[in-house]
Structure 1
Amino acid sequence: MKSLLKIRSNPLPNCVAVLYDGVITDFDAVTQCWVIDDVFVAKGAVSLLVQPCLGDKVGFVGIAEEYYISHIFSRSSEAEELTIASDKKMHWLAPELKFTGTENIELLSLNKIGMISKDYVVSVSNTLLQQAQSLLQHVGHYSVNAKGLLNIRGKQQIISAEKDVRIDAERINMG
């Protein structure tokens, strides 16, 4: 009886043999590359969402004669903010997302901010300010309750109803 041992020839992945480290010493805004130790020019890996800063100690690899920053090991104490940056669109997908800013949260868009939800809750303990060129609201029912003064001003106002308009007060001043 002959036994034949077959050894599968599985392809092996390319090996990245060395992870280098260094300190970011400069940034080239034209090429969008960082200079490490005044010698090596590296791009940020796509997975590197935290934007490097001058003085950061980083890990980088050499692939196909190019260097890519893959890790930020430490940040200098002078850096005041952590920036998540990408030149690609971002999509976060999770069963639940929470953003907590113990002092402030600011959402800024140069075009559009869209929010779609089954329920939308806004709770503000001090002041809610809305400013817009035009404000359009379409609702099934609209109820406003004010504990103090309710003041609605406009150069012109139109109040119209298909059936009834009711004004109920202890005193009504017209004019």
Structure 2
Amino acid sequence: MMQIHDRSTTTVIPALADALLVVALDDGRFLLDDGRIACQAASCLLTPQSGDRALVAACAGGECFVVHLLTRSGDEAVLSVPGARQLAINQPAIAFNAAETITLRALGDMSLASATGTLTLNARNLFTTVTDTLVEQTRHYVGRAEQYLLDARQLLRLHGKQALMTAEKDVKVDADRISMG
């Protein structure tokens, strides 16, 4: 450790050194190539892994912290903040770009909202699966399709103050019983 002296105080500055992370231990601790154990510092957002070369700070009291990763040994990177339960990114604009895949997962709830703007989904194919209940509420709904197939296993109910069905060629209603009026 480096000590800086002036007339009124003594300041201890942590010693910085590079080290190889040999083994990832439990609880976010790492065995270094010199035998010391270091924890991930809160400011080191990229989660260290075995094989990484890191900048390590040795603090007063013998604590060591991985403060920065110098090189990455693998091809995957995970962002996390030790001790934090939630991570928020606050910027006027954020872009996530991937040449191949973006995956969003949550074991619990997930929310996607655009309070005063437009939410746009563009895809060649769009699949939605809901295992329990799907509720849609809107003021105006406009749908356009080359073909639209709807299959209800039990009850299909269409209700409105006014209903209009138009076909250019043919309307077919097929049932064991047809009630009108």
2:108 to 88, 111, 118: 111
Unmatched 5+ stretches in structure 1? 1-8
What's the CA shift string for 1:3-60, capped at 9, x where partnerless? xxxxxx998794424201110100112x320111050100000011101111111111
The one of 36, 41, 44 equivalent to 1:40 is 36
Q: 1:74 to 1:13 in 2, by over 3 A?
A: farther
Which deviations, in whole Å up to 9, do the C-alpha atoms of 1:112-139 show, x marking residues without a partner?
Answer: 1112212111111x10001112111110
Match of 2:66 among 55, 66, 69: 69
Partner of residue 174, structure 1: 173
* Structure 1 segment 61-100 matched on structure 2, within 5 A: 61-63=57-59, 64-76=61-73, 79-86=74-81, 87-88=83-84, 89-100=86-97
1:21 corresponding residue in structure 2? 18
Structure 1 residues 158 and 49: CA distance shift in structure 2, 3 A: same
Whichever residue aligns with residue 50 of structure 1, its letter is L
Report the Cα distance in structure 1 between the residues aligned to 2:9 and 2:75, rounded to whole angstroms.
Answer: 43
CA gap 1:12/1:113 in 2 versus in 1, 3 angstroms: farther
Alpha-carbon distance in 1 for matches of 2:56, 2:20: 10
Relative to the length of structure 2, the TM-score reads: 0.82
SS of equivalent residue, structure 2 residue 15 = coil
Provide the residue aligned with 2:53 in structure 1.
57
- If the length of structure 1 is used for normalisation, what is the TM-score? 0.85
Is the 8 Å Cα contact of residues 19 and 34 (structure 2) preserved in structure 1?
no
Tell me which amino acid in the other structure corresponds to 1:129: F
CA contact (8 A) 1:42 1:68 kept: yes
Root-mean-square deviation (CA, aligned residues, Å) is: 2.0
2:179 matched residue in structure 1: none
Q: Note if contact 2:43-2:67 (Cα within 8 Å) is conserved in structure 1.
A: yes
When residues 36 and 136 of structure 1 are mapped into structure 2, their CA distance, relative to the original with a 3 A threshold, is same
One-letter amino acid of the counterpart of residue 47, structure 2: Q
Q: Residue 120 of structure 2 aligns with which residue?
A: 121
Aligned residues: 161
Please, which runs of 5 or more residues in structure 2 have no aligned partner?
1-5, 175-181
Question: Per-residue displacement from partner, 1:81-133 (whole Å, max 9, x unpaired)?
Answer: 11112341111101100000110000001111112212111111x10001112
Letter in 2 for 1:83: V
Contact 1:26 1:38 in 2 (8 A): no
